[in-house]
Amino acid sequence: MSHNPLGQQTEYISEYAPHLLFPIARSESRKQLGIGSNLPFFGVDIWTGYELSWLDKSGKPVVAVAEFVIPCNSEFIIESKSFKLYLNSFNQTHFNSVDEVRAIISEDLSRTAKSDIKVQIFPLHGSGAGNYLTDIAQPEAVLLDELDVVVNNYHPEPELLTVGVEQVEETLVSHLLKTNCPVTGQPDWASVFIRYKGNKILHENLLRYLISFREHQDFHEHCVERIFCDLQRICKPELLSVYARYTRRGGLDINPFRSSDSQAMPDSVRLIRQ
């Protein structure tokens, strides 16, 4: 981590520089959760890049939005500032086509993360643009944030989680999740969706638990895995999915999804803060 570019003075390189990508091993944080090579979940990390640009053969700029899907079983995550710097290096580089840009990014990310990374590039208008890029979603879920709760701890407190005897299947959402970058201490804001089937999780205590992450320092992906593991260990649901949509920083948003269902995939949605 001493070589992590996130806390260093930055030189912005505007010509293609794949060496800027900085990998961080997932295993280090997972050890703290008692997770080994046999992962207790399935899922992906969905990144959206809003500041992608390059030059065409004539030197005319092209601008687009990109989506990157990284499997949760990749050996490495990619540090977000290095990702931003890498994308900036396309700004003054000539490419022949969108397909060439997509192929290069996919190859570079896959090599860095040690996994197959899917890349889509969307124009800013026309039929090729994904609907979620232009439409603000209001996913159907039970909102927790208006519950009347008393909070006096701002570090993860899984002991708060409790269940009743009623069997339910429901999707819950809170927009109050805040965590902090482990390198810079800057705040990261997110909406978190929890879908589960099993004994009813007491909503008030779940909200207090989510708020308890407010001073917790860790990367987005690791925070979601901690939430998943705490819910799985304490509440023991039959099915569980945790999906956090983080607000963007530096033109990138990171949206980790973890599920006990190997077939489950998150919706590509854009929330009001994204």
What is the third-level CATH fold of 142-259? GTP Cyclohydrolase I, domain 2 (3.30.1130)
Structural Rg of the chain based on CA atoms: 19
Sign of the four-CA dihedral 225, 1, 31, 211: negative
Q: Which of 164, 243, 226, 247 is nearest to 40 (CA)?
A: 226
Q: What is the pTM of this model?
A: 0.92
Secondary structure (3-state) at 226: helix
Q: Which helix (H) or strand (E) holds 200?
A: strand 187-201
What local confidence, expressed as pLDDT, does residue 10 receive?
Answer: 65
pLDDT for residue 131 is more than 70: no
What local confidence, expressed as pLDDT, does residue 124 receive?
Answer: 85
Is residue 258 very low, low, confident or very high in pLDDT (cuts 50, 70, 90)?
Answer: very high
What local confidence, expressed as pLDDT, does residue 13 receive?
Answer: 85
pLDDT for residue 168 is more than 80: yes
What is the third-level CATH fold of 5-134? GTP Cyclohydrolase I, domain 2 (3.30.1130)
Q: How far is CA 132 from the centre of its chain?
A: 16
d(CA 118, CA 123): 17
In the residue annotation, 188 being an active-site residue is answered as yes
What local confidence, expressed as pLDDT, does residue 1 receive?
Answer: 52
pLDDT, average across residues 246-253: 93
pLDDT greater at residue 128 or residue 256: 256
**5-134 and 142-259 have identical folds:** yes
What local confidence, expressed as pLDDT, does residue 188 receive?
Answer: 96
Among the listed residues 45, 72, 108, 188, the single catalytic one is 188
d(CA 274, CA 5): 24
Q: What is the pLDDT of residues 215-236, one digit of tens each?
A: 999 999 999 999 999 999 999 9
Among the listed residues 181, 223, 229, 235, the single catalytic one is 181
In the residue annotation, 181 being an active-site residue is answered as yes
What local confidence, expressed as pLDDT, does residue 267 receive?
Answer: 84
The residue ranges of every structural domain in the chain are: 5-134, 142-259
Q: Report the 10 Å Cβ neighbour count for 69.
A: 19
Give, in degrees to the nearest 5, the angle at Cα 133 between 115 and 266.
45
